[in-house]
Structure 1
Amino acid sequence: MSETRAGEEGGRKIALALALSVVLTLWVALCEPPPREAVGRFLGVVGLSALLLGWGVRGGWGWLNGEPRRCGVFVILGGALALRLAAWMAPVSLSDDVWRYVWDGAIVAAGENPYAETPRERVTRMQGEGAVARAEAGEEAGASSRKALQRLNSPDYHTVYPPGAQAVFASAEVASGWLGGVSERWLRLFFVLADLLAVLLIARALIAMRRAVGWATLYAWHPLVVWEVAGGGHTEALAVGLMVALVLMVGRRRPWTIGAVIGLSALAKLTFLIVSPLVGVALWRRGRFRDAWVAALVAVAVLVAGYAPFWFEALIANQRESVALYAGVFSFDAPLYYAARYLLGYREGLTEPVTHVLSPVLQLATMIVIAAATLWQNGTRGRLVASMVVAWAGYLVFNPVVHPWYALGLMAAAALAGAWSVSLAALGLMLSYLFYVPAVGRPEEIVVMVVQSVWAVAVVGLQVGPKVIAWALRRRAKTKFDAVRPYLRPGDRVLDLGAGEGFVGELVAEADFEVMLAEVDDRNRTALEMITYDGESLPLDDDQFDVAIIAYTLHHARRPDKVLSEAARVARRLVILETVYEREWDRRLVTFLDHSANRLRGMAPESLAFDRVEGWLERLHARGMRVLTWRWLGRGVHRHVIIVADRES
C-alpha cells in the first residue's frame, strides 16, 4: 500500500471513530434516564467510545502526525469540540458539584461574599429577615431557596472554591440573565471553552517538545475528560490549560509571568499548586535561582490579590474548617486508604475512626512523592512533564477521596509525556459511578476498587515496566563493568560473551576499547555489533580477541564446559563473573531468584548450571587456563565471584 493511500486510510479510520463516538455520546446525553441513573448504559458507551477512539488513533497515527502539523491539530481540536458539545447536551446528573458553583455564582453576581456564610446559614438568615419571597425569586438561578439548598451536597460547609473559579461562576449567572438560559448550562459551556484552550496548548507544547502531536488525543478525546468537563462540569477544566501553559513558558518567559500563571491556576483550583514547586525547581536547574524566587513571590502576590476583595476576619478560619472537615469526614474510591484503615483495625460502625492517625501519614507520603518529583528536575520540559505525572499520581494514590475528575491534571500531564498507560488506567476511575447504584453495597465496592487497582498496575506496568527494567539492567551493567575494568589493558580487543542487552559491552566501548557482542539470541539494545551463535561453537577466529568477558552467563549455558573451551580459543584472557553456591539451599535460592529476574526480562525459565567456586576453577585448569586471581564480590543472598584466567604457556 502506498504512503498516500495508507494516509487516506488512516484519516478515514479517525473520522469513523470520531463520528461513531460523537453519536454514542449524544445518544447517552439525550436518552432518559440521565447517565447517573443509567450507569450500566453510560459505562458501556464510555468503554465502547474508548475502544473506537483507540482503534482510530492507532490506525491513523501516521496521518494524524503528518505534515502540515496544523492539520492534525485542527482534527484533534475539532474532535474534542464535537465530543464535548455532545456530552454538554446531557442534563447534570454525574455530579452535583455544579449546583454549588451556581449557588456561589449567584451570590457573587449579587455583589455579596460567598465565603461569609454556609448555604444553610444564608437561607436561615434570609428567612429570619422575612425575605422568603426574595429567596424563591432566585430559585432558578440557584439563590438561597429551600429547593436550591436541597440540591447542594454540602450545605453546612463554607465554600472552598477560590476566587478565580468564583469569577467564572458569577459570569455564568450574568450570562444567563443577559442572554437567557440557565446558569449551569452556561457554566458548563465556559468549562468546555477553557478545556478546548487546554487541548490547543497541549498540542502546542507537544510541538515545542518535538513530540508527536497525536499524543494530545490522550486528553482531548478521552471519555473521562469529555464527560467530567462537559457533562459533569468541574473547575479542574479552568486550571488544566494554565498548567500546560507553564510547560511552554519555562525557559522562554520572564519569571514574573510564570509566577502570575501559577497564581491564576491556584485561583482556579487550589490543588494545581501541586505543580508549583516542580516549575520553580525547573527554573532553578536552568541556572535561574533568582527567577525561581521571583516566580514564587509573584504567585503568592496573585493569590493574595485574588482573595483580597473577599477578605473578612473569619475567612481563613472558615476555609481551614471546611478543608479540615473535608479531609476528616469524606472518603471515596480510595483503595489504599481503605486498605490501610482496615489494617489499622477500623471496622465501620464498630470501632473508633482512625483518620486522625492515617491522614497525616498519607499526607506525608504525598509530600514525599511531590518532593521527589521536584528534586528530579533537570530544567528540561521533558523532565518537567514526567515529574508532573509522578506528582499527580502520588496525590491521587494517597488521597482518601478520588473522584474521576480529580485525574484531569494527571491526564493532561500524561498526554504531554506520551504516557498512554495513564490514560488507560484512568478509564478504571469511571467504574466508581457504580457506587451510586442502589444494589451495589460495600462488598461490591471492594471488588470494583480491586479491579481498578489491578487494571491500573497492569497497564502502567506494561509501559513503565520495560523502562524500569532497562534502567535496572544499566545500573547492574555499571556494577559489572566496575568489577571488570581493573583487568582490562589499554588497547585490548574485547568480546562480551553472553552479552544480553549489550549494556556491559557498551560501557567497555565508552572506555575506548574495541568491543564485539556475542549471544545465543539477539536482545541487543546498543549500537554495537552483535553476533549470534548456537551456545556452543563461536563463528570467530582463534585469538581474535585479547580478553573475553563472561558475565553471569555460564550457569545459563547448556554445556558450560564447551562455552569455556570456545572462549579460551578465541580470547587469550578470560574475565568471568559468576554466581556460585556453597550449600544446597544456596543453589535452590539462586535458582529461584534467577528465574524470577529473567521472567521480568522476557526470558523463559530454563535449567541452570550453577557450581561452586572450586568447580569453576577446576574447569578452567582442565582447559589449560591459569587462574591469575579470583575474589568474592558478594557473599550475601547473591554469592558471586570474579575469576581472571589466561592461557598457560
Structure 2
Amino acid sequence: MLVKILSYYRLHKIPILLLVASLLFYYTFAYYLDRTDFPKLITLAAALFFLCYKLIQFEKWNFKLLLTAGILFRFVFLFVTPMLSQDFHRFIWDGELVLQGINPYLQTPNTIIEEGTILIENAAQMYASMGEISAKNFSNYPPLNQLLFALAALFSGKSAIGGIVTMRLIIILADIGIVYFGRKLLLKLNLSSHLIFWYFLNPLVIIELTGNLHFEGVMLFFFIWSMYLISLKKYILAAPILAFSIAVKLVPLIFLPLFLRHLGFKKAIQFYTIIGITILALLLPFYSSEFINNYATTIGLWFSNFEFNASIYNIIKKIAEFNGNKNWETIRAFGKISPYITITVVLLFSFLKSNKTVTSLFTSMLWVLTIYYFISTTVHPWYIISLVILSLFTRFRYAILWSAAVFLSYWAYSNPDFTEHLGILTIEYTLILGYILYEILRLNKQKLLFSKNKTVN
C-alpha cells in the first residue's frame, strides 16, 4: 500500500503540491480573511485562480484527483461562518418560519421583531446580522429554496452553525451532481469532459457557493440535469426538473422563450405547461392574496433601488450626474427601462437564432444572460457563476476570465460606506469586453478559414 502511495506521489508530485498549496490558501481565505482587507482578498483570489489553472493543465484527464481536490477545497469551509456575505442569516430566518408553518412572504423581519408574536431561535442575533435591506423587505427567495432553508433549520440543532453546515452539505452535493450530469452532457455534445472542472475547481464557485452559501449551485444542478435530458430528447422529464431550477432561483425563467424553436411549437407548449404546473404546485403551500403583490414588490426593488458592480448603468449614471440628475432619479428611470430591453433581447435570440442544436441553445443562453448582466444595476460576483457553466458548452471562455476579474468588485467592502471605485470597475469591464471582442474576432476568423477550405476542396 505504501509503495503504491509513493509511486502515485512520484507520478503526480507537482499536482499534489498544487493541491496542498490550494488547501492552504482556501484555509487562509476561510479563517483568516477580513473582507475589508482588499489587498489580501485579491491576492488570495489571484493565487487560487493560478493554482486552479495549473491543476487542470497538469491533470485534466485525471478525473479522480480533480474531483477529490474540488471536494477537499469545499470541506475547508464546512464549519466556518461566511466572511463575504450575511445573506445566510435571512436563509435560516425564513427556514425557521417555514418550519413553524408561517408564510415567509407575508411579513418582513422588521414587522416580526416589532410585534414580537412569532418565536424564532436566536431572533435578535439573526435580525441584527442580516442587514437593514433584508430586514425591511419581504423574502424574495422562490419556494423550493424556502424548503431547503427549512431543511437547514430542521437540522440546525437550534444553532447558526448547524444550519450553515446543513446548507453547505446541500450545496456541495449539488456541485457534485453538476459534475456528474455536466460530464455526461459534454460527452453527448462531443466536447472535452474535463471542461466541467473549470466549474468545479473555479475559486469563485467554491468561495461564493460553499463559502458564502449562495444557492446558484443548486439551481444549476437542476438546470444542467434538465439540459442533459433535453439532449436525450426526453422533454417531458426535463420540464419538471427545469421547473425545480426556477423554483430555487428565477434566473432560468429568462431562457424559456429560447426553447420555442428548439422544441417546435407543439412540444414547446407541452414543455411550458408542465413547467407552469410544477411551479404552481410548489407555490401552492405559500399562496395567499398578498403573496403576489409582496413578491412582485420585492423583485421590483432589484431593478429600481439597488446598484453594485454595474457596467452600462454606471456610464449612464455619470452622464446623468453631469446633467444635474440625482442618483435615485437615474436608477428608478433605468429600472423602468431595463426590463423592456431584456425582453427585447430574449425575443431577438428566440426568433432570429435557430437554437436547433443544444450547443446553439447554450450559446443563445450565454449571450442573453451576458447582455442582461451588462444592463443590470446589480451584478453580484456569484451571478457570474451561471455564465461560467453555460460557457463550458459553447466555444466562448470569457466567463471564466470574468469569474476571476469580478473579485475586483469586492473593493467596495474595504471602506465603511461601501462606496465603489469606478476606476477598478473600469478595469474589470475593460478586461471582459476586450476578451469578448477577441473571442468573437477569433471565432469569425476560424469560420472564414473553414469556409475557404471547404470551397477549395
Matches of 1:224 and 1:264 in 2, distance apart? 24
Tell me the SS of whatever aligns to 2:237.
helix
1:111 is the counterpart of 2:90: no
- Contact in 1 for aligned 2:168/2:210 (Cα 8 Å): yes
Question: Residue 59 of structure 1 aligns with which residue?
Answer: 58
CA displacement at 1:166 relative to structure 2: 0.4
Q: Deviation per CA, 1:86-135: give whole Å up to 9, x if none.
A: 23343212111111111101111122111110111111122xx5x7xx45
1:409 is the counterpart of 2:386: yes
Q: Given the alignment, which residue of 210, 213, 216 partners 2:193?
A: 213
Matches within 5 A, 1:247-258: 247-258=227-238
Matches of 1:156 and 1:180 in 2, distance apart? 21
Matches within 5 A, 1:460-609: 460-471=436-447, 474=448, 503=451, 506-507=454-455, 509=456
Q: Structure 1 residues 502 and 152 mapped into 2: Cα distance closer, same or farther (>3 Å)?
A: closer
Question: Residue 373 of structure 1 aligns with which residue?
Answer: 349
Matches within 5 A, 1:229-268: 229-268=209-248
Tell me the SS of whatever aligns to 1:53.
helix
After superposing the two structures, state which structure 1 stretch, 186-195 or 450-459, moved more.
186-195
Matches of 2:409 and 2:356 in 1, distance apart? 37
- Contact in 2 for aligned 1:425/1:460 (Cα 8 Å): no
Question: Residue 363 of structure 1 aligns with which residue?
Answer: 339
Question: Residue 3 of structure 2 aligns with which residue?
Answer: none
1:312 is the counterpart of 2:311: no
Matches of 1:430 and 1:351 in 2, distance apart? 25
Question: Residue 384 of structure 1 aligns with which residue?
Answer: 361
Question: Residue 73 of structure 2 aligns with which residue?
Answer: 83
Matches of 1:448 and 1:197 in 2, distance apart? 35
Q: Structure 1 residues 351 and 191 mapped into 2: Cα distance closer, same or farther (>3 Å)?
A: closer
Q: Structure 1 residues 178 and 146 mapped into 2: Cα distance closer, same or farther (>3 Å)?
A: closer
- Contact in 1 for aligned 2:398/2:436 (Cα 8 Å): yes
Matches of 1:337 and 1:52 in 2, distance apart? 34
Q: Structure 1 residues 232 and 251 mapped into 2: Cα distance closer, same or farther (>3 Å)?
A: closer
Question: Residue 434 of structure 2 aligns with which residue?
Answer: 458
- Which structure exhibits the higher relative contact order, with contacts defined as CA atoms closer than 8 Å and separated by 6 or more residues? 2
CA displacement at 1:323 relative to structure 2: 1.6
Matches within 5 A, 1:9-48: 11-31=12-32, 34-48=33-47
Q: Deviation per CA, 1:462-516: give whole Å up to 9, x if none.
A: 3332113445xx4xxxxxxxxxxxxxxxxxxxxxxxxxx5855753x4xxxxxxx
Q: Given the alignment, which residue of 399, 402, 407 partners 1:430?
A: 407
- Contact in 2 for aligned 1:346/1:354 (Cα 8 Å): no
Matches of 1:160 and 1:360 in 2, distance apart? 19
Question: Residue 298 of structure 1 aligns with which residue?
Answer: 274
Q: Given the alignment, which residue of 291, 301, 309 partners 1:325?
A: 301
Matches of 1:25 and 1:10 in 2, distance apart? 25
- Contact in 1 for aligned 2:79/2:161 (Cα 8 Å): no
CA displacement at 1:199 relative to structure 2: 2.3
- Contact in 2 for aligned 1:389/1:413 (Cα 8 Å): yes
**Structure 1 residue identity aligned to 2:63:** V
**Structure 2 residue identity aligned to 1:434:** W
CA displacement at 1:418 relative to structure 2: 5.2
1:95 is the counterpart of 2:85: yes
Q: Structure 1 residues 151 and 60 mapped into 2: Cα distance closer, same or farther (>3 Å)?
A: same
| Larger helix share, 1 or 2 | 2
Q: Structure 1 residues 108 and 503 mapped into 2: Cα distance closer, same or farther (>3 Å)?
A: closer
Matches of 1:179 and 1:331 in 2, distance apart? 33
CA displacement at 1:46 relative to structure 2: 1.1
Matches of 1:92 and 1:245 in 2, distance apart? 28
- Contact in 1 for aligned 2:79/2:164 (Cα 8 Å): no
**Structure 1 residue identity aligned to 2:156:** S
Matches of 1:209 and 1:252 in 2, distance apart? 11
Q: Deviation per CA, 1:303-351: give whole Å up to 9, x if none.
A: 1111111111111011111122232110111021111122234679957
- Contact in 2 for aligned 1:234/1:405 (Cα 8 Å): yes
CA displacement at 1:223 relative to structure 2: 0.6
Q: Deviation per CA, 1:407-439: give whole Å up to 9, x if none.
A: 121111112325333201221111111101117
CA displacement at 1:390 relative to structure 2: 1.2
- Contact in 2 for aligned 1:228/1:234 (Cα 8 Å): yes
Matches of 1:373 and 1:152 in 2, distance apart? 38
CA displacement at 1:270 relative to structure 2: 1.1
Structure 2 unaligned runs (5+)? 1-7
Q: Structure 1 residues 15 and 213 mapped into 2: Cα distance closer, same or farther (>3 Å)?
A: farther
Q: Structure 1 residues 392 and 88 mapped into 2: Cα distance closer, same or farther (>3 Å)?
A: farther
CA displacement at 1:79 relative to structure 2: 2.0
CA displacement at 1:211 relative to structure 2: 1.1
Structure possessing the higher radius of gyration over alpha carbons: 1
**Structure 1 residue identity aligned to 2:77:** A
Tell me the SS of whatever aligns to 1:36.
coil
CA displacement at 1:207 relative to structure 2: 1.5
Matches of 2:439 and 2:12 in 1, distance apart? 26
- Contact in 2 for aligned 1:80/1:196 (Cα 8 Å): no
Matches of 2:450 and 2:396 in 1, distance apart? 27
Aligned residues: 447
Q: Structure 1 residues 399 and 461 mapped into 2: Cα distance closer, same or farther (>3 Å)?
A: same
Q: Structure 1 residues 441 and 262 mapped into 2: Cα distance closer, same or farther (>3 Å)?
A: closer
Q: Structure 1 residues 213 and 328 mapped into 2: Cα distance closer, same or farther (>3 Å)?
A: same
- Contact in 1 for aligned 2:23/2:76 (Cα 8 Å): yes
- Contact in 1 for aligned 2:178/2:224 (Cα 8 Å): yes
Q: Deviation per CA, 1:277-302: give whole Å up to 9, x if none.
A: 22343222xxxx32211110010111
RMSD: 2.7
Q: Deviation per CA, 1:507-542: give whole Å up to 9, x if none.
A: 3x4xxxxxxxxxxxxxxxxxx5xxxxxxxxxxxxxx
CA displacement at 1:379 relative to structure 2: 2.3
Q: Structure 1 residues 422 and 195 mapped into 2: Cα distance closer, same or farther (>3 Å)?
A: same
**Structure 1 residue identity aligned to 2:211:** G
What's the TM-score once normalised by structure 1's chain length? 0.64
Q: Structure 1 residues 430 and 123 mapped into 2: Cα distance closer, same or farther (>3 Å)?
A: same
Matches of 2:42 and 2:327 in 1, distance apart? 35
Q: Structure 1 residues 120 and 215 mapped into 2: Cα distance closer, same or farther (>3 Å)?
A: same
**Structure 1 residue identity aligned to 2:151:** S
Matches of 2:45 and 2:57 in 1, distance apart? 18
- Contact in 2 for aligned 1:43/1:430 (Cα 8 Å): yes
After the TM superposition, which parts of structure 1 deviate over 6 Å for at least 4 consecutive aligned residues?
7-10, 346-349
**Structure 2 residue identity aligned to 1:279:** F
Q: Structure 1 residues 348 and 308 mapped into 2: Cα distance closer, same or farther (>3 Å)?
A: farther
Matches of 1:169 and 1:424 in 2, distance apart? 32
Question: Residue 487 of structure 1 aligns with which residue?
Answer: none
Q: Structure 1 residues 347 and 380 mapped into 2: Cα distance closer, same or farther (>3 Å)?
A: same
| Larger strand share, 1 or 2 | 1
After superposing the two structures, state which structure 1 stretch, 400-409 or 253-262, moved more.
253-262
**Structure 2 residue identity aligned to 1:155:** A
Matches of 1:73 and 1:326 in 2, distance apart? 40
Q: Deviation per CA, 1:132-166: give whole Å up to 9, x if none.
A: xx45xx10xxxxx3332111232111001011000
Q: Structure 1 residues 398 and 9 mapped into 2: Cα distance closer, same or farther (>3 Å)?
A: farther
Matches of 2:443 and 2:211 in 1, distance apart? 36
Q: Given the alignment, which residue of 110, 125, 128 partners 1:150?
A: 128
